Amino acid sequence: MQDRKFKWYDYLTINIYYLALTMLSQTLVPLVLPLLVQDFVGEAQKATYIGIIRLWGLMVALLAQAFWGMLSDRSTLRWGRRRPFILGGTLGDFVFIVGIGLTAGLSGLSGFWVLFACYLLLQVCTNAAHGATQGLIPDLVPESLRGRFSGIKAILEVPLPVILVSFAIAGFIKGGNLWLGLFTLMGFMALSTALTMLVREEPLRETPSPLNWEPLVRLLAMTAVFTLVILGLGMLTRWIGAAIAGMQSVVSLGLVMGVAGLLAMAVAVALGVWLSVRICIGAKDQQNYRSFTWWVINRLAFLVPAFSLSGFALYFLQGRLGLTAEAATGPAAQMMMFVGVFVLLSALPSGWLSDRFGRKRMVALSGLIGGLGTLVLLLAPNLTVIYIGACIIGLATGIFYTVNWALGTSLVPDREAGRFLGISNLAGAGAGAIGTYIGGPIADFFTVNVPQMPGLGYIIVFAIYGVLFLLSMIPLSKVELPTAATPISG
């Protein structure tokens, strides 16, 4: 830890790159990728192919972030440990953002696969910068100031970039000017990177110990198993759809596919987490810390709908309100902005409320509120009510982010907190993968088989997400909090 006095601008320079990261994800995931994929594969398959690109992109991100984080931990470059990776990752991002823009001139499946390759390579570069950025606060900020720095990080990571995308980028994309939107994004990223380069780092002075590849090998095995679980359940869902495609009753189709999709996502959450925790911490520790496994299941079950709603927001608005893809871009960005603002507003007081009413109760409440917000989205007669539903979901997500993490930190052994809590990255990456890869074919099934009811597929998928919010409360009953007499110390 460097002995230094912090100026007001250090709070900005150490955290500003989080703005770039969120602006990139909020531009591509809800806006650019859905538009391009729809152009490439058409109305009947767009959700399935969004699921494919999200699944593999998130799994690559999970591995890349861990790999680059390990390398930056050991970097002895004269610039410092983190800034070279941030600069290099950003320059790589620019190459593949331009590549994504150029795919707009392509067509058909060939265009999709070029987009797919550019997006995966973008994930490699982005997570080189992301993995390094996560090390700045631990490297430079003493424990006594990390709360203040983390507060600035929260503002730069959630509401501010979402608002900037809504007002500075979404309008260009809505107007059909993809390139202006992408160049605006790159301008914000360049500014964020330039400010980050002002961080005063010093090179690592001691010689790093030999590289231990075991954590990365375990992560690779965990990611492979988790991906196979998602792929298998997605295939099963599509098989069920093919088997019942001849049914005449729309209600029966909705019930069968809805139940199949819900069961597939629930099994993917439970089985994927159980196998992943077993691989990462071993059978003995999994048995000793059973509450930890249930906590990860709760976390993933909530984040599946929370993350997946944004990926299908544009398509949902198209079907629900009869909008064109370009016309739905602005409202989709507004939806995400309302979610982001209410995440921030609810995250701040929820820690105090959890101390007063209990962490498990507050996490359960977040699942209930998330289900209510999704119900509002489904019943909304107009865009105003849809925005209200988005605010409610943002409220639930803010409570969950703060309280669920605090709950998790009380369940892991003190001396191995990093090894245990690192598995929570699986919940972040796996959430979007499960929700879009399994949900996408369900939405497309109704587009093909019930064309007279446009948007029905996304209503079914969003209903599954709403039930998952509610089901996320069940694993909490298996979570046993340590008492003062039996602290977890490893």
Per-residue confidence (pLDDT) for residue 489, from 0 to 100? 40
**Shared-domain flag, residues 202 and 262:** no
The verdict on residue 245 lying in a domain is yes
The verdict on residue 26 lying in a domain is yes
**Shared-domain flag, residues 77 and 142:** yes
Q: Determine the Cα–Cα distance for residues 486 and 366; give it in Å rounded to an integer.
A: 28
Q: Give the domain-ending residue among 186, 211, 236.
A: 211
- Residue 327 CB neighbours (<10 A): 13
Task: Tell me the CA distances in angstroms from 336 to 105, 306, 324, one per residue in order.
Answer: 28, 11, 18
b (16+ CB within 10 A) / e for 233-247: bbeebbebbeeeeee
Per-residue confidence (pLDDT) for residue 150, from 0 to 100? 75
Instruction: Provide the whole-model pTM.
Output: 0.89
Q: Give the domain-ending residue among 162, 194, 211.
A: 211
What is the pLDDT tens value at each position of the chain, 490 positions in all?
445 788 889 999 999 999 999 999 999 999 999 999 999 999 999 999 999 999 999 999 988 988 888 888 888 888 888 999 999 999 999 999 999 999 999 999 999 999 999 999 999 999 999 989 988 888 888 877 877 887 788 788 878 898 899 889 998 998 889 999 999 999 999 999 999 999 988 777 777 777 777 778 888 888 899 999 999 999 999 999 999 998 989 999 999 999 999 999 999 999 998 998 888 878 887 888 889 899 999 999 999 999 999 889 999 999 888 888 888 998 999 998 899 889 888 877 887 888 788 889 999 999 999 999 999 999 988 999 999 999 999 999 989 988 887 788 778 776 665 567 667 777 777 888 999 999 999 999 999 999 999 899 999 999 999 999 999 999 999 998 876 434 444 4
Its sign, for the CA torsion 200, 205, 210, 214, is negative
Q: Is 203 helix (H, G, I), strand (E, B) or coil?
A: coil
Per-residue confidence (pLDDT) for residue 35, from 0 to 100? 95
Q: Determine the Cα–Cα distance for residues 241 and 257; give it in Å rounded to an integer.
A: 7
Decide if 70 contacts 216 (C-beta within 8 A): yes
Q: Which tokens in the block code for residue 166?
A: 């809504």
**75: containing domain:** 8-211
**Shared-domain flag, residues 225 and 335:** yes
The verdict on residue 490 lying in a domain is no
**Shared-domain flag, residues 21 and 59:** yes
CATH code where residue 259 lies: 1.20.1250.20
**Shared-domain flag, residues 248 and 296:** yes
Closest C-alpha to 307, from 50, 16, 9: 50
Decide if 112 contacts 41 (C-beta within 8 A): yes
In this structure, the chain runs to a length of 490
**Shared-domain flag, residues 193 and 220:** no
